[in-house]
Amino acid sequence: TDVDPAMVQAAQRSLAGLPIEARQADATALPFADESFDMVVSFLMLHHVVEWEQAVAEVARVLRPGGLFVGYDLLSSRVAGWLHRVDGSPHRLIEADAFESALEQAGLDPLRLRSTGGGLVLRFVVHKSSITDHNPSNSGHGT
């Protein structure tokens, strides 16, 4: 998905012939039912969503239990801030601690969070726990 129709059209051209659908949508209000996807992928998108915490909450909503949220994004840094001032795009750069907090508030568990590129990029693999992940397994013993 992308909020920009021109980007959606470009994606549709690039994905022609593949079993993938590109749709125009706002990441803070996704037009999909709860627990619709096994995986959500995000590459350099979240920092373009001023209310990116709401986008993370939407990811949690549309992920099935056991699903993964994977990707990478720019961390708040002097270089990233300068690049976005030059290009003029709307943005709100991400602090690693704030990202972890947003994941926790959305009920997502980070499997891997890694800063790379000299602290410019945060790579992430995040898991939505299934109900059984939070409940002790039944050992079969009577009470």
pLDDT confidence of residue 5: 94
Residues 76 and 17 in one domain: no
Q: How far is CA 113 from the centre of its chain?
A: 12
**pTM score:** 0.84
Q: Which tokens sit at 45?
A: 């998108």
d(CA 124, CA 101): 14
Check if the beta carbon of residue 67 is closer than 8 Å to that of residue 61. Answer: no
Total number of domains constituting the chain: 2
Is 104 found in the same domain as 59?
A: yes
Residues 108 and 123 in one domain: yes
CA distance 107 to 130: 10
Distances, alpha carbon 77 to alpha carbons 61, 81, 141, in Å: 29, 6, 54
Residue type, 11: A
User: For position 142, what pLDDT does the model report?
Assistant: 42
> In this structure, is residue 143 part of a structural domain?
no
Domain encompassing residue 26 = 1-31
Q: Are 75 and 94 in contact (CB under 8 A)?
A: yes
Q: What would the DSSP string read from start to end of 78-112?
A: HHHHHHHHHH-----PBPHHHHHHHHHHTTEEEEE
State the pLDDT at residue 139: 40
Same domain for 9 and 72?
no
| 58 and 7 housed in the same domain | no
Q: Do 1 and 64 sit in the same domain of this protein?
A: no
The count of residues in the chain is: 143
* pLDDT tens by residue, 64-104: 999 999 999 999 887 777 777 777 777 888 999 999 999 99
Minimum mean pLDDT among 25-29, 75-79, 80-84, 108-112: which range?
Answer: 80-84
Question: Has residue 139 been placed in a domain?
Answer: no
Residues 23 and 43 in one domain: no
How many CB atoms lie under 10 A from the CB of residue 78? 8
